[in-house]
Every structure is written in structure tokens, then in C-alpha cells.
């Protein structure tokens, strides 16, 4: 399906012709417009051409999933079920052990898992970390007693603290839940090492793969490997497949007992006026008509990314990261959060995310300047990872109390660049031109950027 693109890719290492809309013009402050540059891929990504083509190709065959005997319904159900197998293969899941549940996004996946595990382990403890996105924090905090695995001054997880906490809680920890890669610093976690430690103490591991799965190979591994991943969540829209499909993968047995979190159509095998027998997972966990187009899009993206090769994608993005740091370091007047990777080994522990502040300037002003003067989209603020950003900015609990009482105070934050497969060094050069203007100009609207620890 996608193969016609690949001879071009492999010769030129240019992935831009695989995407839609990445050169669309955006307006500037002076009334002119230029092709936009998108360095906000951590939030969401533009669609792959192959995804849009597959949506159009499939549309005439679109029908109901699991709900009809008509031809289109049969085709639709087959594709939907086939997608589970391909998703599992893409992340090295175990066919015997795992089930693939389609959801809206990572947030829904993690909420679903929290609901399900709560019905099994009401008094269990969940270890999360200081570096999590709110989506891998609040669903657990709402239900369980939780504790945070600590981070070092560069924002990396302290594995000795994981070990200490597992020992301290003496078997009560049922789950260790960590991001595969941070959406703030780009640090990748040693997920298999964490899994080994967790499993030794009888806990399972969940990986929030929202930022890892689109950017590097992931292999959950077989059950007989101590470092296997028990649960994995990720989102299609962060891997070039909009249309609202996400994934939760986990052992089938996790979803065997109790009522699903949402009930209704598609979840029940038999319903009488006063009794119900649920389907097995994954069907019981997917209430209502499934998002088939979302799954078709996700499948097309997975096929394209696989054909390019996740290793190749990782090294392309590492190269962009190295190039950007090299340029940014010499610009002066910037604070970086998470430390600067200095060699290949350190680069391989990152995804293409850089968070920084311009000394003396408010993050919002920097982000607006980049957009309005340079047509460059970035994200600014706390990126839905407020406790982590507060730690990196060295903001005390007392200072945060002030914000709790006065939410209109300028919020602390940073500026974030997050790369995608299609970004280029030329785009980074454009960023440098605009950033150097900012650093020289320093328009300031009232709140000063905080240096890192």
C-alpha cells in the first residue's frame, strides 16, 4: 500500500513528501504569510498521506463493526480485528497473553486501566513518578494510594528510589506506572530495567507510551522475560494518524472480571431484565460503536512507520536533536531543562524534545514571537506535567500555594520544541534566526523565566 514512497525515502532521507499540510502557509504579524514550521509534534502530529489515502480508499467499504451480516459489516469487522494483531506486532506484544483495546487516546487508556485495576486492588499502592504527564498521574491519584518515584536534578528517574520504595511497601505496590519518554525533557526511561525491578517485587508495570511509541522501537516482550511490559498505552494522533483512535494493551486476564467501566451496546453477550453476561475482552471494554475510521488510520500509520523502520526514525530524530542543541548552546541567554545530551549515548536516551526559557522573558512571549514573527509553532506552559515542570523550575510548594489562591497570576512554564519525522535542519535554522532576534530584543511582559536547578 505505502511501498511506492520508500525508494525515495531511503535515497534522500527526506520524509516530507509522506505528509500532508506541513508546508501550509501561516500568517505573520506583518500581514505576510510563509510556510509554517511545526515543532509541536508532542501535542499532536500532522497526518501521513498514506493515512488519508487509506481513509479514502476504505470509505466505500465502511460498515458497522460486529453488528451485521452484510458484506460491508463483515469487511469492516475483519479489518478491525486484523488491526489488533498488527498493533500487537508493532509493539512486540504477546499474542497468548495480551489483548488490544481500542480507545480514544492515551488518557482514556490510562483511565480505563485505573478503573479496572481498582476493582481488583482497592487497597494496593501505585508507584508513579515525578516526571509524569497528568494523564499518567490523576487517574491513579483519584483512586489509589500513590507515591512518586524521585528524579535527579536533570529530571531523570532515580531507579534506586524505585527499589527503596518497593522495599518499603513490602508487596503492597501492585503497579509501577512510568512514561516511556517525557513530554517535557525528552528523557527516555529504562522501561525494561524498571519492569525487572517491579516484577521482582510482585508489581506490574504500565508504560505511558504516548511520546515513545511514535519515535522509537518498542518491544513489550514475552511473559517469560522478567523485563516485559505488562500494560502499554498510546495515541494515534501523536503518530500521524488523526481520527481519534488510541490503544491500551494488557494481559487478557486483567479484564476478565467485573463490569466494564462503560456499559451498553457491544459489551454484553446476554442481557435479561435483571441479569447480564459480558463479552470477553477486548469487546467488553469497547462500549458503543467502535471508531473504525480511527483504527483504519492508525493501521495505515503503523504500516508506514514500520516500512520506514522505527530505528531509522529514531536516528533521524536524534540527528535533529543533536543539530538543534549544537546551535542553541551557542546562542546564549537560554536556560535548558533536563540537561544537554553531550554524546551519542546520551542522545539515544532522548526523544526529540527540548524545553527551554529565554533568560528574563516570559515563556508565552517567546512562543508568540516565534509564531507571529517566524511562523513557527511551539508549545509553552507546563505541558500538562505541572509537578515535573515545578521541580525543574525549582518552584517551591509555597510558591505554588500562591498560584492556588490566585490562579490569574502568570503561570510558570517553559517553551517546548518537539520534533516529528518530517522536520528538517533547514527548519531548525529558521528557528535559530528568529530565536536570535528574540534573545537580542527581549520583549518582556512581566514574568521572568526561572533558571534550572
Q: Which of 248, 384, 431, 449 is catalytic?
A: 384
- Is residue 423 a contact point for ligand PLP (CB under 6 A)? no
Residue of 134, 131, 180, 190 lying closest to 159 (CA atoms): 190
Q: Which stretch binds ligand PLP (CB under 6 A): 74-82, 104-112, 254-262, 359-367?
A: 104-112
Q: Which is nearer to ligand PLP, 217 or 309 (CB)?
A: 217
Give min distance, CB of 237 to ligand PLP, in A.
6
Q: Which residue has the cell 526529540?
A: 352
Q: Which is nearer to ligand PLP, 178 or 361 (CB)?
A: 178
- Under rule CB under 6 A, which residues in 400-419 are in contact with ligand PLP? none
Q: Among 101-109, 222-230, 288-296, 340-348, which window interacts with ligand PLP (CB under 6 A)?
A: 101-109
Residue 317 vs 438, nearer CB to ligand PLP: 317
Sign of CA dihedral 209, 121, 115, 168: negative
Pair 333, 366: CB distance under 8 Å: no
Distance (Å, whole) CA 416 – CA 354? 6
- 37, 258 contact by CB (below 8 A): no
Q: Is residue 136 within the footprint of ligand PLP (CB under 6 A)?
A: yes
Calculate the alpha carbon distances from 187 to 35, 106, 335 in Å: 30, 19, 17
User: Which residue has cell 519492569?
Assistant: 195
**What 3-state DSSP class applies to 277?**
strand
Residue 114 vs 438, nearer CB to ligand PLP: 114
CA 133 to chain CA mean position, Å: 9
Counting contacts by CB under 6 A, is residue 107 touching ligand PLP? yes
Other beta carbons within 10 angstroms of residue 79's beta carbon come to 18
Cα separations in angstroms, 101 against 75, 112, 177, 218: 19, 10, 18, 18
Q: How far apart are CA 346 and CA 249, in angstroms?
A: 29
Site membership for ligand PLP, residue 77 (CB under 6 A):
no
Q: Is 99 in the site for ligand PLP (CB under 6 A)?
A: no
For 226, list phi and psi in degrees, rounded to 5: -60, -30
Instruction: Kindly report the backbone phi and psi dihedral angles of residue 161, in degrees, each rounded to the nearest multiple of 5, phi listed first.
Output: -70, -35
C-alpha–C-alpha distance, residues 314 and 246, integer Å: 21
Q: How far is the CB of 75 from ligand PLP (least distance, A)?
A: 28
| Dist CA 139 CA 111 (whole Å) | 5
Closest separation in Å from C-beta 179 to ligand PLP: 5
Residue 129 interacting with ligand PLP (CB under 6 A): no
* 206 belongs to the catalytic site: no
128 near ligand PLP (CB under 6 A): no
**334 grid coordinates:** 537560554
Give the residue, chosen from 84, 116, 133, 187, that forms a contact with ligand PLP under the rule CB under 6 A: 133
Among the listed residues 2, 111, 177, 211, the single contact to ligand PLP using CB under 6 A: 211
Least separation in angstroms between residue 253's CB and ligand PLP is 25
Nearer to ligand PLP, 52 or 109 (CB): 109
**Cα–Cα distance, 162 to 152 (Å, whole number):** 13
Our finding on whether 40 is near ligand PLP (CB under 6 A) is: no
Per-residue b or e along 113-143, where b marks 16 or more CB atoms closer than 10 Å to that residue's CB: bbbbbbeebeebbbbbbbbbbbbbbbbbeeb
Q: Does 318 bind ligand PLP (CB under 6 A)?
A: no
Q: Does 297 bind ligand PLP (CB under 6 A)?
A: no
- Stretches 25-33, 48-56, 103-111, 155-163: which one binds ligand PLP (CB under 6 A)? 103-111
Indicate which single residue of 208, 230, 317, 365 sits in contact with ligand PLP (rule: CB under 6 A). 208
Nearer to ligand PLP, 108 or 230 (CB): 108
- Member of 179, 314, 357, 380 binding ligand PLP (CB under 6 A): 179
Pick from 41, 76, 99, 183: which binds ligand PLP (CB under 6 A)?
Answer: 183
**What is the total residue count of the chain?**
453
- Of the candidates 106, 80, 113, the one whose C-alpha atom is nearest the C-alpha of residue 235 is 106
Strand, coil or helix: what is 357? strand
Q: Are 443 and 358 in contact (CB under 8 A)?
A: no
Minimum CB–partner distance for residue 60 and ligand PLP (Å): 29
Q: With binding defined as CB under 6 A, does residue 105 bind ligand PLP?
A: yes
Binding residues for ligand PLP, total number by CB under 6 A = 15
For ligand PLP, the binding residue among 210, 268, 292, 371 (CB under 6 A) is 210
User: Should residue 291 be labelled a site residue for ligand PLP when binding is judged by CB under 6 A?
Assistant: no
Residue 334: partners with Cβ closer than 8 Å, 6 or more residues away: 328, 356, 357, 358, 359, 439
Chain positions contacting ligand PLP, by CB under 6 A: 42-43, 105-107, 133, 135-136, 179, 183, 208, 210-211, 235, 238
Catalytic positions are 384
Amino acid at each position: 500500500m505505502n511501498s511506492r514512497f520508500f525508494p525515495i525515502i531511503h535515497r534522500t532521507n527526506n520524509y516530507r513528501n509522506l505528509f500532508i499540510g506541513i508546508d501550509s502557509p501561516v500568517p505573520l504579524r506583518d500581514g505576510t504569510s510563509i510556510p509554517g514550521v511545526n515543532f509541536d509534534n508532542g501535542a499532536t502530529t500532522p497526518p501521513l498521506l498514506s493515512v488519508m489515502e487509506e481513509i479514502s480508499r476504505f470509505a466505500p467499504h465502511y460498515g458497522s463493526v460486529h453488528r451485521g451480516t452484510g458484506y460491508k459489516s463483515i469487511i469492516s469487522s475483519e479489518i478491525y480485528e486484523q488491526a489488533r494483531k498488527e498493533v500487537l506486532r508493532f509493539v512486540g506484544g504477546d499474542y497468548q497473553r495480551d489483548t488490544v483495546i481500542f480507545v480514544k487516546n492515551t488518557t482514556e487508556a490510562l483511565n480505563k486501566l485505573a478503573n479496572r485495576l481498582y476493582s481488583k486492588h482497592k487497597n494496593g499502592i501505585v508507584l508513579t513518578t515525578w516526571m509524569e504527564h497528568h494523564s499518567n498521574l490523576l487517574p491513579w491519584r483519584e483512586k489509589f494510594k500513590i507515591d512518586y518515584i524521585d528524579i535527579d536534578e536533570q529530571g531523570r528517574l532515580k531507579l534506586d528510589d524505585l527499589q527503596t520504595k518497593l522495599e518499603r511497601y513490602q508487596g503492597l505496590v501492585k503497579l509501577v506506572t512510568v512514561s516511556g519518554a517525557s513530554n517535557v525533557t525528552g528523557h527516555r526511561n529504562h522501561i525494561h530495567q524498571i519492569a525487572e525491578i517491579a516484577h521482582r517485587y510482585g508489581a506490574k508495570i504500565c508504560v505511558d507510551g504516548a511520546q515513545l511509541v511514535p519515535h522509537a522501537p518498542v518491544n513489550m516482550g514475552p511473559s517469560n522475560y522478567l523485563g516485559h511490559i505488562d500494560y502499554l498505552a498510546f495515541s494515534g494522533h501523536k503518530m500521524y494518524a488523526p481520527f481519534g483512535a488510541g490503544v491500551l494493551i494488557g494481559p487478557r486476564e486483567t479484564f476478565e472480571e467485573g463490569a466494564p467501566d462503560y456499559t451498553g451496546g457491544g459489551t454484553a453477550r446476554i442481557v435479561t431484565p435483571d441479569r447480564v453476561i459480558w463479552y470477553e475482552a477486548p469487546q467488553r471494554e469497547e462500549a458503543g460503536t467502535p471508531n473504525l475510521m480511527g483504527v483504519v488510520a492508525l493501521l495505515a500509520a503503523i504500516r508506514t512507520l514500520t516500512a520506514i523502520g522505527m530505528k531509522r526514525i529514531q536516528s533521524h530524530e536524534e540527528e535533529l536533536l543533536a543539530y538543534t542543541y549544537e546551535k542553541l548552546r551557542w546562542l546564549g541567554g537560554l536556560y535548558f531543562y533536563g540537561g544537554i545530551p553531550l554524546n551519542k549515548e546520551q542522545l539515544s536516551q532522548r526523544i526529540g524534545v527540548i524545553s527551554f526559557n529565554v533568560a528574563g522573558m516570559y515563556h508565552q512571549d517567546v512562543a508568540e514571537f516565534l509564531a507571529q514573527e517566524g511562523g513557527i509553532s511551539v508549545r509553552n506552559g507546563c505541558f500538562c506535567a505541572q509537578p515535573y515542570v515545578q521541580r525543574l523550575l525549582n518552584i517551591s510548594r509555597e510558591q505554588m500555594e500562591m498560584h492556588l489562591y490566585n490562579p490569574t497570576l502568570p503561570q510558570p512554564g517553559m517553551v517546548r520544541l518537539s520534533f516529528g519525522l518530517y522536520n528538517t535542519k533547514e527548519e531548525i535554522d529558521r528557528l535559530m534566526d528568529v530565536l536570535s532576534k528574540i534573545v537580542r530584543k527581549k520583549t518582556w511582559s512581566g514574568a521572568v523565566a526561572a533558571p534550572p536547578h
